[in-house]
Structure 1
Amino acid sequence: MTSTSYGIDVSAYQGTQDWAAHKRAGISFAFAKASEGQKTHDAKFATHIKGIKAAGLTPGAYHFAWPNQSAAVEAANYISAVKAYAGPGFLHFLDLERYSDGRNYTGKSAAQIKTFATAWIAAVQKAFPGQRVGIYTSASDIAAGRVPTAVPLWYPAYPGASVDTYTEANKHARPAPSGRTVTFWQFTSTPLDRSVCYMSPSALKTWAQGDAGDGKTYTPPPFPVGLAPNKAKPSAVTLQRALKAAGYMPKSVPESPHYGPQTQAGVIKFHNAHPTYRAAGKTYDPAIGPKGWAALHRLAYDK
């Protein structure tokens, strides 16, 4: 089973939350509405996001889009709302969903809405270099061609009573609307909007660090302290999980604290698929180094 983590999202419609209690209950991430359209800021954003960060949860914010307005102005509105709170490990989302009466989509084609979303995401990425920017959107928006590719997806779909707990969501198949990879699945709105993320809490926290601020450098979980750089290895279990997530080790292989033959075989498979990261002249290379680990971790979790 894919390792997951649990989260909630809130807006001005929700009252003050006991974030420490949420954390004790197993929540590891939380997102708050920051803004909407060209001018509106959510009245409770500051209260929510301060509590989320104080509790040590992976934080994030979202902006409700009006694609029939200016992407640049809306991005600026969002940036002004979150800039005091955003930093490494902070996630950003464009909430792209049609009002029931269509007033925020009126007059725009699918292609124009996609252009709006692409421009908004680019503006936010420019404002917060290296931080991750994703999109919250529905199966119908994806199928209609309104959603850019190659961005993290936070996907709402409610199966109903059959999936209204985190345990049931874990057992349910991972959604794949129009063949797209879903990073977060919002599976219910009762009693709060609740989502699962298809990463463990520690992997999510690492993934949320993004590109470490320069758009190019990626920092995976560190090697254990005390190992010489040329002999460093990640912990065996951490490595095994990454190999499985990236498809270089069968998921049926039990986790083990030992860097044994099956783990080494997975590393060899990774190196042969990505020879840049293996030792010069070797096709059989079971020892992974820092650069290879960074590349493997990105393949495993940066989807």
Structure 2
Amino acid sequence: MTQVNVTGIAAPKAAAPAAAPAAAPPPAAAAAPAAAPAAAAARPAAAKGAAPVITSKAASGPPLGALKLADPTKTISGTRTEHPVPMNKMRQRIAERLKDAQNTAAMLTTFNECDMSKLMAFRKANLQAFVKKYGVKLSFMSPFLKAAANALMDQPVVNGVIVGSDIIYRDYVDISIAVATPRGLVVPVLRNVDSMDYPRLELEMNALGNKARKGQLSPADMQGGTFTLSNGGVFGSLMSMPIINLPQSAILGMHAIIQRPVAVDGKVEIRPMMYLALTYDHRLIDGREAVLFLRKVKSGVEDPTSILAGI
């Protein structure tokens, strides 16, 4: 029966008396330590018919201990010899002059490239007529010589030289041509290239080349050049940085003609291209003059009718 108090609210039933606390359980025996985890957790078995899971493992070489190294105390069979060969006077002189150039000039090289398509077509169309008329072949050197001569007149500082505290400007162009011979590199000089036509250049080059190969060049043949032209392309050189031929202030390097993809009027075409390298003395020649010089050479070579004459 519910007891009602004066407020009319049912009073809660009295809570049952709390049970006596149970006795503490005896201490359990210490559990055995868990086994160390495996190197890789076991994967659940794949469901029947499921596609196999492919995993990758980083490649690693064999441990060092597994490598079989050669016995360092074992003597290598065979004969290995060395023998000194004295440098001839020409090689000694070449070495001295090249080192002098490095120690004297502030050398810097700038590059450009030219499309040889028109020049090659011009040479092919006129080769037989040229040989018949002048008795010498039509080469690529003469147009480069004429283009360089025109560029030297356009940028006279490249044709100049530092003497003491003065700059000497020349109103003539004498170009040294680097020629490889069995004895070493020689640089005979073509005089007054600016006033020579194409046939005359070919005849002069043939004469100097024959003298160089026979070892008959005189000191006068190799002195007085104002600029040097070197053609490493005949040996397959793709690009190089030629060294100035002191006391000159610049040298132009020609290179191999290579078929390469180039952009022409927004389209990619395969053209016969050649890299050009101008090494110059930065004490005298600024980058502006060097770049303008190369652009002048490029325009002359790419338009051979503007520089070739005498056919």
Larger radius of gyration: 2
- The TM-score normalised by the length of structure 2 is 0.24
